[in-house]
Amino acid sequence: MLKLQNIQKNGKSAEGKIVEVIGKMNQAGVDMMCLIREHHLPYEFPEPVIEEANQIRQKIELKDIPNRVDLRDKLIFTIDGEDAKDLDDAICVEKLENGNYKLGVHIADVSYYVREGTQLDKEAYIRGTSIYMLDRVIPMLPTKLSNGICSLNEKEDRFTLSIEMEIDSLRKSD
């Protein structure tokens, strides 16, 4: 990355100073790093945020379960793409005896782990969302959370915010 110090004037050449070498020309990923730098995207987490994320347990404990509805006996599957790493939403569908369907929509309960006012919360607020680029993701939360306890990984107990709705057949109105 080059920082201009003097713009070309009166026939003199412009001057600059190399402040960072991102990589070699045509090296894989350099173009993405240039975009990240150019748009000031937050691709690294501050150390206090990483430390806070490292304090969060990666397994649900029994003491955490009261007042939760246990849906582990249902067939629930993620709707994220096959190559996704942070699986944060899922659905389940079942046909009811009355012919209607029950649709469950389940979103990873990040709010259980990222409490308001914490370093994690402040950083997530600044980032606003995960940014998906061609060959990488700049996550809203540290990987330990986004791909760990806040990801709906197969055969792992996870907390979700869920809604179940009954859907009846579509009927034409008269």
Tens digits of pLDDT across the chain (174 residues):
555 556 666 777 777 777 777 778 777 778 888 888 888 888 899 999 999 999 999 999 888 888 899 999 999 999 888 777 778 999 999 999 999 999 999 999 999 999 999 999 999 999 999 888 777 788 999 999 999 999 998 889 999 999 999 999 766 665
User: What is the pTM assigned to this prediction?
Assistant: 0.75
Please state at what angle helix 47-54 crosses helix 119-127, rounded to 10 degrees. Answer: 120
Neighbour tally for 121: CB within 10 Å: 17
Q: Could you identify the residue written with the tokens 């569908």? A: 93
Question: Which residue ranges make up each domain of the chain?
Answer: 1-40, 45-167
**Can you read off the two tokens belonging to residue 127?**
């980032």
